[in-house]
């Protein structure tokens, strides 16, 4: 198998050769000789997000940053967040670890040299391999956002056969997980945070399915927003700045809708999500039995932590939240409950299952006395990532008294992050991308 292959190969592999020509025409229209055209797209993007009360995260390829440092540094100064999108725009999945280290170190040097701050990484083509997070963590990156979750929000009968075929080819290339089967939530991988990105993204919608009607794009993303909201999960939008003219209204529609929802949607950058996930991991809940049916609760957490309870009563004020939960601001309070508001699991439960339930904010006790718990689970000996969503749903359906930390801060029900990759800013960047991949393939 070839170690790396050039951009033209990827374009044709995931698109078909006929589309390659259309793609080249689109590139010529989207980029200019200088970065002025791209600058206007970035400013437009920044204005839409600013008006919607959010800050985007742009993942930029290091060599592209090196060729256009002033503009990016200025946007960074204005508060826009940047992440590393590879040293060059290549597929890192087949690249050996030592070579990945060399690339990522070069990228770090370029970001530092250009005085552009970063904390995270997103892979070109959203393709990494199983060992990439470890490499990134060892180099000081705090997060990666390359895992893809695909939402089933499109009806294939609505699109021309060829367009649907192009879209399917993209999915084959990305190999996303299905959002119907997995939780779209950040995840710790050995202390390193992985933040999933949602598709269909702008490329799938516009370049593959040929949708340019802004209302239709809005409809697709509003649908994903609503689904992530109902599920209490995260919608990471992927919108490349060069397609902002097609997606401007869709972007402002989702930001407006996010503002309308109550409980709220937390709109955050990828760095803020990472920091929150790390902060939240340290929270603890102590639940001591006082007397019959009375439990004293002490929550050690930051002010913005969201504490939820259901099917039990607190002696401090609480407000109705969602899914049968009430939200409580107090950190020390007494609960009245027929049983301890914790989840009991059998002693043979998989450590991964226990860890998952704790990550979900619950207090979990391993015990062989089911009677002591409102919710007792004894079928967790084997547990994999695909079991997370069904387990989460099972807990939600339970009528047992439960106390937990919620996933998001400040009583938010779900989260939304606006991100976009900067692969090229000029026609020269695009041409050089092909050359850089060719040179990489010869190493």
Chain residues in the site for Zn ion (CB under 5 A)? 124, 421, 423
For 362, list phi and psi in degrees, rounded to 5.
Answer: -90, 160
Q: How far is the CB of 122 from Zn ion (least distance, A)?
A: 8
- List the structure tokens of 25: 């025409």
Q: How far is the CB of 424 from Zn ion (least distance, A)?
A: 9
Q: How far is the CB of 252 from Zn ion (least distance, A)?
A: 24
340 - beta bridge partners? Answer: 373
Nearer to Zn ion, 172 or 281 (CB): 172
Q: How far is the CB of 89 from Zn ion (least distance, A)?
A: 6
Is residue 434 reached through a cis peptide bond, with omega within 30 degrees of 0 on the bond before it? no
DSSP state of 360: T
Contact (CB, 8 A) for 242 and 287:
no
Nearer to Zn ion, 59 or 297 (CB): 59
Nearer to Zn ion, 233 or 421 (CB): 421
The whole-angstrom separation of Cα 194 and Cα 143 is 6
Residues 6+ apart with CB under 8 A from 257: 222, 225
Nearer to Zn ion, 202 or 253 (CB): 202
Nearer to Zn ion, 106 or 346 (CB): 106
Contact (CB, 8 A) for 76 and 42:
no
Place of tokens 């801060």: 409
For 244, list phi and psi in degrees, rounded to 5.
Answer: -60, -35
Q: Are strands 81-84 and 57-60 parallel, antiparallel or unpaired?
A: parallel
Q: How far is the CB of 345 from Zn ion (least distance, A)?
A: 42
First to last CA, the chain: 14
Nearer to Zn ion, 126 or 225 (CB): 126
Nearer to Zn ion, 88 or 339 (CB): 88
Q: How far is the CB of 85 from Zn ion (least distance, A)?
A: 6
Q: Which helix (H) or strand (E) holds 439?
A: helix 427-441
420 - beta bridge partners? Answer: 58
Q: How far is the CB of 420 from Zn ion (least distance, A)?
A: 9
Nearer to Zn ion, 58 or 229 (CB): 58
Contact (CB, 8 A) for 385 and 182:
yes
The whole-angstrom separation of Cα 96 and Cα 104 is 12
- The DSSP line for 372-400 is GEEEEE---SS--GGGHHHHHHHHHH--S
Q: How far is the CB of 421 from Zn ion (least distance, A)?
A: 4
């Amino acid at each position: 198998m070839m170690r790396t292959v050039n951009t033209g190969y990827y374009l044709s592999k995931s698109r078909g050769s006929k589309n390659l020509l259309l793609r080249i025409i689109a590139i010529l229209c989207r980029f200019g000789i200088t970065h002025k055209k791209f600058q206007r797209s970035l400013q437009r993007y920044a204005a839409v997000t600013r008006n919607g009360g959010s800050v985007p995260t742009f993942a930029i390829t290091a060599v592209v940053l090196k060729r256009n440092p002033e503009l990016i540094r200025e946007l960074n100064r204005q508060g826009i967040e940047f992440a590393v999108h590879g040293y060059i725009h290549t597929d890192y999945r087949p690249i050996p670890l030592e070579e990945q280290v060399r690339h990522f170190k070069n990228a770090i040097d370029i970001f530092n040299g250009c005085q552009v701050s970063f904390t995270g990484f997103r892979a070109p083509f959203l393709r990494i391999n199983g060992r990439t997070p470890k490499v990134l963590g060892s180099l000081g990156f705090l997060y990666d956002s390359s895992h893809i979750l695909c939402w089933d929000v499109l009806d294939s009968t609505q699109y021309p056969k060829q367009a649907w075929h192009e879209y399917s080819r993209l999915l084959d290339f990305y190999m996303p997980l299905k959002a119907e089967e997995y939780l779209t939530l950040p995840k710790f991988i050995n202390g390193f945070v992985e933040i999933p990105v949602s598709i269909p993204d702008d490329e799938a919608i516009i370049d593959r399915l040929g949708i340019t009607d802004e209302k239709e794009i809005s409809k697709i993303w509003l649908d994903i927003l609503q689904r992530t909201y109902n599920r209490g999960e995260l919608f990471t939008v992927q919108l490349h700045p060069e397609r902002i003219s097609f997606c401007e209204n869709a972007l402002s529609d989702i930001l407006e809708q996010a503002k309308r929802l109550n409980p709220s949607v937390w709109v955050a950058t990828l760095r803020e999500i990472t920091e929150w996930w790390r902060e939240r991991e340290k929270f603890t809940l102590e639940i001591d039995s006082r007397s019959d049916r009375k439990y004293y609760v002490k929550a050690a957490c930051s002010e913005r932590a969201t504490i939820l309870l259901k099917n039990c009563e607190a002696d401090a004020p609480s407000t109705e939240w969602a899914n049968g939960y009430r939200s409580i601001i107090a950190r020390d309070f007494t609960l009245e409950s027929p049983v301890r508001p914790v989840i009991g699991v059998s002693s043979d439960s998989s450590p991964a299952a226990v860890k998952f339930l704790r990550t979900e904010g619950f207090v979990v006790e391993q015990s062989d006395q089911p009677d002591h718990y409102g919710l007792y689970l004894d079928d967790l000996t084997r547990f994999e990532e695909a079991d997370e969503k069904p387990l989460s749903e099972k807990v939600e359906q339970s009528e047992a008294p439960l106390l937990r930390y919620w996933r998001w801060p400040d009583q938010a029900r779900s989260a939304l992050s606006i991100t976009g990759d900067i692969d090229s800013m000029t026609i020269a960047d695009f041409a050089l991308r092909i050359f850089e991949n060719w040179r990489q393939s010869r190493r």
